Structure 1
Amino acid sequence: MNRSKHTFLFLSAFGFLSSINLMDGTKINAQDDFTGTTAIVGAMLLDGYERPPIHHSAILIQGDRIVSVGTQANTEIPEDANIIDGSGMTVLPGLIDLHVHTMFLGHGDYAEWFPIFEGKEEEMMELAAKQLLMAGVTTAVDLGAPIEIINVRDRINDGRAIGSRLLVSGPWIARRAWGSYPSYFQHVVNSSEEAGQRTQELVDAGVDVIKTWAGMEEADIRAVVDVAHQSGIPVHSHLYTPESIWDAIRGGSDVLQHVGSGGNPDYPEDLIEAIAVRNIPIVQTMAHRIWVYPATIAFPERLQDPRLKEDLPGDLYAEFQRSFVDFERLSYFRSTPRQIRNSKTAARQFIDANVVMGMGTDSGSPLNFHTEAAWREISALVDSGMSPAQAISVSTKLGAEIIGRGSDLGTIEVGKIADLIMVAGDPLSNIQILANIEHVMKGGVLYK
């Protein structure tokens, strides 16, 4: 099948988003209006800290806040409370994904995706945000999208769209372009001064974070950091080579993204130590090739996930399936077998060094669906040496702290925003239980 000559006949088939994309100002109600107390009772509670669970717990929620956390035995449940029965389940904080791309939905070929995406950017990004939320990701950092992602973020925040709480970078800043792909999500600069100017433009547009991409040297990153930090905006840097990581460290980047994605040759010990002693957070995004590729070899039926069929119109679903044919030959996976071999040690380097880590997925990349990327990444962290409790803490509490929201997100405790998910069974004994999220609450609202 010739991918490059395939004709896209379905670009007008996007009425499917009308149920979630209400641009006329209508506010969405995810659950029946309820102004009293919600009580989640009977579940095992993992609060986001690396400590033993609370069994047969009781959590009381009023409005968007948690007002009580304890056991059923010591908690008085109001008679008029809305009860969520947690029997046989685990409740834990909503997941925080520190690296997503809502402009992608997992299509097999980036070059073929952009003609589909263009003209429907906001609708597509809203769909991705909804998929993330239904997968238990209550907060996500979008690190590379058209500037219109700000509109999507704002519609979610004011209740006109359903999706994860988004922090967004808009277009990234780079010294070189990504292939021949469109310029609307990447600002290519020719000097450090221009990098600073582009940063100010993004800050003025209302982004929450700045992302630097390929080719940025120390002086370029420093110029970006100087401007961004004046407005309290953090800088995340896309990095793979040791040299680029050193440039980001010396340039003052706040968060190091990818850092080899677990598939690099082992990094020098002095580099690992520099990151560890400086407490610079890293986000590895390990699963999107190294774990997703063999999982698809073993079970290609995952590509026919019913959730994709439900979310996409028939013609677009068929196009996705076409893009997956002979997925082993996709350019995206060209070096994956070598990365898998490297990962035997590379994926563990930062864990063994006890570096500050957050969970990020690069979700939306080929075959890396928003519907499942988070649990696959958390499972990869466990496979690479974390305990399940540590991996959950990295994906909740530490994620909130890295984005500066530790005071109101990331853990289940009194006074914090009620972002909670529930799964059947015990993820401490089988982390892959997180693949099947039974309930999702964001800001006290039950969405699933």
Structure 2
Amino acid sequence: MNARIAAALLAAFAVLPVHARTLALVGGTLVDGTLRDPIADSVVIVRDERIVAVGSQGELAIPADAEIVSTEGMTVLPGLWDMHVHLMINGHADYAHWDKAYAGRLRDPVMPASARQLLMAGVTGARDLGAPLAESIAVRDAIRRGEIDGPTLFVSGPFIQKKPYPGTEAFRWGVDSPADARAKVKRLADAGVDVIKLIDQDQMSEAEVAAVIDEAHKRGKPVVAHAHRPEEIRRALKYGADCLEHTGLAAAPRYPDDIMDALRERTANMAAGPLFWTPTIEGLYNFPYVVKHHEHIDDARWHLGLPPDIVADIRASLAHPERIAYFQQTPQRWPTLQTKFEQLRGNGVLLLVGTDSGIPMKFHSDSTWHELEVWVNRLGVPAVDAIRAATYWPAVAMKADKDYGSVAEGKYADIIAVRGDALRHIALLQNVDIVIKHGKRVK
């Protein structure tokens, strides 16, 4: 055994109680979320919730009391993150109906079902961007206490926008002045949200946009902002939003030159830190195909945790995918997606894997691997870079990389394994074989 690793392992065990539980993942190829090469015949030692040693067979001894989990023939990875999910929706095609019919059932069963589906898909961390405040906090905290299964959640609670759409006031908060904008951010921060979500900021006054972002930063909360329209992007960049979402509703063939200039200026400002962007590209990119090939609607994995009446309602709403109002502009937008993705990727933006999971036909049980598959097999992103965009960089974006994002000593043991070579065949992630969260095997 390597002397340095042996000493570190002995030191780790020396400070832990004798009743601590030990787990050893043995044999697979480890893609650890960092920039180092994959480790063949890997060994990962977990003690209670944390990783205490990482190495390879023949180099790292396996403790005698360890429960051994064979990962032979598998790719071992950090647990995936999905940086744009909506736990309050589950793929239903009609938002107005859903919001009215299920407002009283979000806390139980809707949001817990969404969370459990994500976890079973290998998603151990997620950012939930838009839901009623009390329900968001309750579900996040129930997961953290171990009362329900789900990924470690970072929640925004309600959107902040100029004016909520009719019937959405429970999860969309309007602002009518800079002072009101600050008051709304304060209310969210005091309630304990992790992030502030800003949308339709092109409909606000610039003073209101500035107030939202400034107040959020004063309270230590990052701001994610919609990037559907050019002026939304301009204002988000001008006033310092931390992360932008989506690749745009506009059918313009590319982002305008002034936006690209502002983008390059922002990404060159090292003092401001990285600029993150969650393109949520797959739902639009694959829609023309899905209209004609929608067998996945019959996959029972998205039923997990949902009662029969809700499953039946969702299925009925998706009987005619070609008629779903949400996607009617997609044929005009589709040709612009790859260009815009490449503009972002080529100009210093740190892209994050996120899916808009929960929107029509986007089920929490399979959205994340679909996004990764499009990045790798359609848009040419190297698999290891796509995996880091779904593991390491999300943890950095949420300032949680001390505990999450890679398989490394001292971090929480959020680990997944999939049979086969996921670096060569990224779509293997549609069937994650092993899910470990905080040292506990949940699948």
| TM-score normalised by structure 1 residue count | 0.89
Secondary structure, in 3 states, of the residue corresponding to 2:296? helix
Mapped to 1, the partners of 2:316 and 2:340 lie a distance apart of 33
When residues 298 and 358 of structure 1 are mapped into structure 2, their CA distance, relative to the original with a 3 A threshold, is: same
Change in Cα spacing, 1:56 to 1:270, as seen in structure 2 (3 Å) is farther
- Counterpart amino acid of 2:268? V
User: d(CA) in 2 for partners of 1:298 and 1:74?
Assistant: 52
Contact 1:348 1:385 in 2 (8 A): no
CA shift digits 1:32-67 (9 cap, x unpaired): xx8321000000000112342111100000011111
Match of 1:208 among 172, 178, 194: 194
C-alpha contact (below 8 Å) 1:200/1:227 kept by paired residues: yes
Q: Would you say the 8 A contact 1:69–1:414 is kept in 2?
A: yes
Partner of 1:431: 426
Per-residue CA deviations over 1:132-174 (Å, capped at 9, x if unaligned) read: 1111111111110001210111111111111111111111110
Shift of 1:368: 0.5
Residue in 2 that maps onto 1:112: 97
Deviation readout 1:95-135 (Å, 9 max, x if unpaired): 11111110001111111211332111111111111111111
- Residue 249 in structure 1 maps to residue 240 in structure 2: no
Equivalent residues in 2 for 1:88-99, closer than 5 Å: 88-99=73-84
1:277 is aligned to 2:264: no
Q: Matched residues in 1 for 2:250 and 2:83: separation?
A: 16
The alignment-based identity, stated in percent, is 40
**Which residue matches 2:151?**
164
CA deviation digits over 1:255-283, x for unaligned, max 9? 11124279753102442343332431111
Q: Distance in 1 between matches of 2:88 and 2:275?
A: 28
Cα gap change, 1:218 to 1:342, in 2 (>3 Å): same
Q: Distance in 1 between matches of 2:296 and 2:363?
A: 10
| Range moving further from structure 2, 86-95 or 268-277 | 268-277
Question: Any idea what SS the aligned residue of 1:183 has?
Answer: coil
1:332 and 2:326 matched: yes
Listed as ranges, the gaps of 5+ residues in structure 1 are 1-33
Deviation by residue 1:223-275 (Cα, 9 ceiling, x = unmatched)? 01222222211111112222211111111211111242797531024423433
The equivalent position to 1:152 in structure 2, one of 135, 139, 143, is 139
User: How far apart are the structure 2 equivalents of 1:303 and 1:268?
Assistant: 37
- The answer to whether the 8 A contact 2:154-2:195 is kept is yes
For residues 220-299 of structure 1, what are the structure 2 equivalents within 5 Å? Answer: 220-260=208-248, 265-275=253-263, 276-278=267-269, 279-291=274-286, 293-299=287-293
1:64-83 alignment, distance < 5 Å: 64-83=49-68
**Deviating more after overlay: 409-418 vs 309-318:** 309-318
**Contact residue 255 and residue 281 of structure 1 kept, 8 A:** yes
Whole-Å separation in 1 of the counterparts to 2:49 and 2:252: 42
User: 1:299-318 residue pairs with structure 2 within 5 A?
Assistant: 299-318=293-312
Residues 23 and 69, structure 2, Cα contact 8 Å, conserved in 1: yes
Q: Which amino acid letter does the alignment assign opposite residue 338 of structure 1? A: Q
Equivalence for 2:8? none
CA–CA distance in structure 1, aligned partners of residues 250 and 281 of structure 2: 5
* Structure 1 residue 312 displacement after superposition: 2.9
Is residue 2:398 matched to residue 1:403? yes
Q: Which amino acid aligns with 1:277?
A: A
Maintained 8 Å contact 2:302/2:364: no
2:188 is aligned with 1:194:
no
Contact 1:245 1:259 in 2 (8 A): no
Name which of 141, 151, 154 aligns with 2:127: 141
**For the residues of structure 2 that align with 1:80 and 1:163, how far apart are their CA atoms?**
28
Give the superposition deviation at 1:304. Answer: 0.7
Q: CA deviation at 1:310?
A: 4.5
Q: AA paired with 1:222?
A: A
Deviations 1:349-407 (A, max 9, x none): 21222421211111101100000111111112222231001000111101110111111
Within the alignment, does 1:43 sit opposite 2:28 as a pair?
A: yes
Secondary structure at 1:79 match in 2: coil
- CA distance 1:57–1:295, change in 2 (3 Å): farther
Equivalent position of 1:9 in the other structure: none
Partner of 1:417 in structure 2? 412
Determine the C-alpha separation between the residues in 2 that align with 1:73 and 1:192.
62
Structure 2 gap segments, 5+ residues each? 1-18
**How many Å separate the matches in 1 of 2:337 and 2:435?**
33
1:379 maps to 2:373? yes
Task: Note the aligned Cα RMSD (angstroms).
Answer: 1.7
Three-state SS of the structure 1 residue aligned to 2:248 is helix
Distance 1:78 1:364, change over 3 A: same
Q: Which residue of 2 aligns with 1:7?
A: none
Distance 2:387 2:249 in 1: 19
1:261, 1:284 within 8 Å by CA — same for their partners in 2? no
1:23 maps to what in 2? none
The residue that corresponds to 1:30 in the other structure is none
Equivalent residue for 2:441?
446
Change (3 A) 1:54 1:298: farther
1:351 to 345, 348, 357: 345
SS in 1 for 2:295: helix
Of 172, 184, 187, which aligns to 2:170? 184
Q: State the Cα deviation string for residues 331-354 of structure 1 (Å, max 9, x = none).
A: 101011112122242232212224
Distance 2:106 2:173 in 1: 18
Relative to the length of structure 2, the TM-score reads: 0.90
Helix, strand or coil at the partner of 1:422: strand
Indicate how the Cα distance of structure 1 residues 374 and 261 shifts in structure 2: closer, same or farther if over 3 A, else same.
Answer: farther
Separation (CA, whole Å) in 1 of partners of 2:374 and 2:250: 10
